[in-house]
Amino acid sequence: MGFFKNLKDRLFKLKTKEELEEQKKILEEAKLKAKEEKKLQKIQIKLEKDQKKEIAQLESVQKFVTGLNKSNSNFSKAILELQNNHVKLDDDFFEELEEILIMSDISAKLALLIIDEIQREVKIQNIDDPKIISEIIVDKMFLIYANKSFIDINLNYQEQRMNVFLMVGVNGSGKTTSIAKIAKRYKDLQKKILIIAGDTFRAAASEQLEIWANRVGVEIFKASQKNQEPASVVYQGLEYAKNNNFDLVIIDTAGRLQNKINLMNELEKINKIINKFIGRSVDESLLVIDATTGQNGVSQARSFKEVTNLTGIVLTKMDGTSKGGIVLSIKDEFDLNVKLIGLGEKMDDLVDFDLDSFIYGMTKDLIENYEKK
């Protein structure tokens, strides 16, 4: 093939200026379209994420509504009846309202404070009709909890270290199942978990814990000999955890409140050992309380707070009680946040405490009745 033919072929393949401009325009439009499509794709991804988040929030609220059904039914019904039985806001109305709050496991001191706040608000707003103060009652319950101090419901777990959670509480509080549920939560996040059976005084405690550990699929460390000191088991367990790169260690402890001095000494030893191994205080010291025990649960919180530093509360069996006020009482008296709340028997029914969802779940019928007016 000669030079001329090659040149001719090349020249004939060249486009005119107009054609080049048209091609450039098409290319720019294609780029713009691709850019718009990419933008639309990003918007779609964001919308999908937002939708998933909203669905998760809705499911969480629904879980609280279901779990607090008994509390809501009891509390809302009592207040609605009170409102229907009174035509004005007088001393009798507020005395009966105080009784309802106390019957819902809100301490007498806190109930009186809530009543004072409600009375102050109705005076400011010049309200005299009992039927229109539902919103004020709900708001004051919310603010009593929220205004106490910063609400921190997050468990103090951090990456790139061995985290240690200490679990305390009386026998029968739901401590064993709570340990299993917390272990499952972190196992589902692909973390390596070790449970230390630190209650060496009851053989049944270790056996039950082992059953749950096997069910969840995590390791358990138990006493190597009969009647071994709890502190000794914890020491060996932490040594094993450190040598085997565990992400989270959950320590069970004895719940014997009968002898506070022994319990205090025991927990003091355990805390010293933890400090030695991780170079800091225990990451979480969680008190497990059975919500169905009512004001007795508040007494337990008082007793355990005397023998060890607590970082939060795990409130179990909330779905089994018609009295939800214990949450407000514990926060008011000890300034302790409920971090986890049990709203059912399933493994995923131990959920992060959410104040908005809790107050809504406890007063749902009252709120809905008010909104209809």
> Cα angle vertex 364, ends 359, 367, to 5°?
95
Output the six-digit token pair for 348.
């995923």
Residue 331 and residue 337 in contact, taking contact as beta carbons nearer than 8 Å: yes
Nearest partner of 230 among 210, 247, 255, judged by Cα = 255
Give pLDDT tens digits along the chain (373 positions). 454 445 445 445 555 566 667 777 777 777 777 777 777 777 777 766 766 666 666 777 788 888 889 998 999 999 999 999 999 999 999 999 999 999 999 999 999 999 999 999 999 999 999 999 999 999 999 998 887 667 788 999 999 999 999 999 998 899 999 999 999 999 999 999 999 999 888 878 889 999 999 999 999 999 888 889 999 999 999 999 999 999 999 999 987 776 778 888 899 999 999 999 999 999 999 999 999 998 888 899 998 998 889 999 999 999 988 788 999 999 998 989 999 999 988 898 899 999 989 999 999 998 888 777 6
- How far apart, in whole angstroms, are the C-alpha atoms of residue 250 and residue 242? 13
Q: Find out whether 176 is annotated in a ligand binding site.
A: yes
Q: Find out whether 173 is annotated in a ligand binding site.
A: yes
Q: Find out whether 318 is annotated in a ligand binding site.
A: yes
Q: Is 281 helix (H, G, I), strand (E, B) or coil?
A: coil
- The whole-number pLDDT of residue 7 equals 44
- CATH level 2 (architecture), domain 163-353: 3-Layer(aba) Sandwich (3.40)
Phi and psi, residue 7, nearest 5° = -65, -45
- The whole-number pLDDT of residue 74 equals 92
Q: Find out whether 253 is annotated in a ligand binding site.
A: yes
Q: Find out whether 8 is annotated in a ligand binding site.
A: no
Give alpha helix (H) positions in 14-107: 17-67, 69-85, 91-103
- The whole-number pLDDT of residue 11 equals 47
**Beta-bridge partners for 284:** 165
The CATH T-level fold of domain 69-150+365-372 is Four Helix Bundle (Hemerythrin (Met), subunit A) (1.20.120)
Q: Find out whether 269 is annotated in a ligand binding site.
A: no
Nearest partner of 291 among 331, 260, 257, 319, judged by Cα = 319
Q: Is 222 helix (H, G, I), strand (E, B) or coil?
A: coil
Q: Find out whether 319 is annotated in a ligand binding site.
A: yes
Q: Find out whether 172 is annotated in a ligand binding site.
A: yes
Q: Find out whether 254 is annotated in a ligand binding site.
A: yes
- Domain coordinates in residue numbering, the chain: 69-150+365-372, 163-353
For 230, residues 6+ apart whose C-beta sits below 8 A from its C-beta are 198, 199, 200, 201, 253, 254, 266, 269, 270
- How far apart, in whole angstroms, are the C-alpha atoms of residue 198 and residue 252? 5
Q: Find out whether 316 is annotated in a ligand binding site.
A: yes
- The whole-number pLDDT of residue 8 equals 44
Q: Cα 215 vs. chain centroid, distance in angstroms?
A: 23
For 76, residues 6+ apart whose C-beta sits below 8 A from its C-beta are 363, 364, 365, 366, 369
- The whole-number pLDDT of residue 220 equals 97
Output the six-digit token pair for 184.
């499952």
- The whole-number pLDDT of residue 306 equals 86
One-letter amino acid for residue 366 of the chain: L
